[in-house]
Amino acid sequence: MKFKIIKKDKKTKARLGEITLPNGKIKTPVFIPVATKASVKAMSKHDLEELNPQILMCNTYHLMLRPGADLIKKMGGLHKFMNWNKPIITDSAGFQAFSLGYGKEHFTGKIGSYFVGRKKKPKAEVEKLALINDNFVQFKSIYDEKIKHLTPEKSIKIQEKLKADIIIALDECTSPFSSYNYTKKSLERTHSWAKRCIKAHKTNQPLFGVIQGGEYKDLRQKSANFISKLNFDGYCIGGSLGKTKKKMHKIIDWIIALLPENKPRHLLGIGTVEDLFNTIEQGIDMFDCVAPPRLARSGYIYFSYKSGGNIKNKFRYRIKNSKYEKDKKPLDPNCDCKVCKHYTRAYIRHLFKSKELLAYNLATYHNLYFILRLMEDIRKAIKKGEFLKLKKKWLKK
């Protein structure tokens, strides 16, 4: 892998870069659609070719369980299995260790908010489906409830079998509600696993390390210093990012200057419009997030500031609402994707209300088109020296 910085923004830490991999070049900043189980939900290969994402992310936890890394290896690796000839990055299963473990127990996401649709923690004890010790993560499979163990060495071996273009070291993603003492102990585990991953790594696939430390400044900086000295090919910022977005930005500020400038920086699991602008401004190069397809399947449609999108409504509206029943406008009047060119809000609302599967395809296509074109506009703005000008247009109060 080669990474070069093409241009830096003069007023911020935003930067335009290029990653060169065997299966293609990636212009950064880049948004990575998530193909968790070797599929971007509701999207065909032809849809993806039209949308033209530069890279996809697949997940080690899900693929090791179904269909299994050995089968994918026999099929020629993920690229041939998916019929996808552009770069792929694989997550290590570290996030699943959190979401199926303390995420369930604490009833929380990465930034301390309760899961969508729930207002309180459950009163009854919740069974965790993942337990962590210094040697491995113990999972109870979500498919057949069989017990599986994942070590740093096994995570690397699986990702090598999947033949991803970029792989990630196994880490422990802590909860926003983890104590300082637990986070400190967890950080030692993540650092130990990072060294084990490097030792186990036998291929020429670029390997990214993960910086942890929760919302604690000394632990985050300790992790940034430790991980950056291990000479990974790139660096991910993971784990609990605090209880608010404001805290997330503080965490990034604490560590960004400690990371090598000549290697890419990936903010794991983040990707709203507001987050993209604010963290690109802080110097982040890569993002992945399940939000565009997931929100689409629930009937949430992205729309731009030109069409009424803003920070308050999170640049989205719900197409299932009754006011769109007779709406002849496209999903976003200022979008030129094929969905907006050929279908009305009224029709797509009808598909959702009738539970027609086409609804998922059209809404997902539009949302991905929206976020990928936004990233394209951000890269153009950095190139022209107009990043803050573009950000102001989108994030104005």
Average pLDDT of 299-312?
A: 98
**For residue 111, is it within any domain?**
no
What residue has token string 């993971």? 238
Distance CA 33, CA 29 (A): 13
Distance CA 99, CA 381 (A): 36
**For residue 133, is it within any domain?**
no
Angle subtended by helix axes 152-162 and 180-200, to nearest 10: 50
Is 353 found in the same domain as 253?
Answer: no
Is 262 found in the same domain as 358?
Answer: no
Average pLDDT of 10-14?
A: 98
Reported as half-sphere exposure (CB side, CA atoms, 13 A), residue 369 has a value of 24
Does 115 score more than 90 pLDDT? no
In 3-state terms, what secondary structure has residue 88?
A: strand
Average pLDDT of 240-251?
A: 92
- Of 289, 322, 353, the one marking the end of a domain is 289
Q: In which element (H, E) is residue 246 found?
A: helix 245-256
**For residue 109, is it within any domain?**
no
Average pLDDT of 26-34?
A: 98
Does 275 score more than 80 pLDDT? yes
In 3-state terms, what secondary structure has residue 130?
A: strand
Distance CA 384, CA 11 (A): 12
Q: Side chain identity at 74, as an amino acid letter? A: K
Q: What is the pLDDT of residue 23?
A: 96
Is 334 found in the same domain as 226?
Answer: no
**For residue 137, is it within any domain?**
no
Does 321 score more than 50 pLDDT? yes
Angle subtended by helix axes 273-281 and 387-395, to nearest 10: 150
Could you tell me if 93 and 61 are in contact, meaning their C-beta atoms sit under 8 angstroms apart? yes
Least confident of 114-123, 166-175, 181-190: 114-123
**For residue 127, is it within any domain?**
no
Does 113 score more than 80 pLDDT? no
Is 315 found in the same domain as 202?
Answer: no
Does 126 score more than 90 pLDDT? no
- Of 289, 312, 331, the one marking the end of a domain is 289
Q: What's the domain count of the chain?
A: 2
Does 100 score more than 90 pLDDT? no
pLDDT tens digit sequence for 192-240: 999 999 999 999 999 999 999 999 999 999 999 999 999 999 999 998 8
Full residue range of the structural domain in which residue 276 is found: 2-92+151-289
Q: What is the pLDDT of residue 117?
A: 40
Could you tell me if 64 and 142 are in contact, meaning their C-beta atoms sit under 8 angstroms apart? no
Catalytically active residues, by annotation = 91, 288
Is 237 found in the same domain as 88?
Answer: yes
Q: What is the pLDDT of residue 116?
A: 38
Is 156 found in the same domain as 68?
Answer: yes
Question: Which of the two residues, 112 and 252, has the higher pLDDT score?
Answer: 252
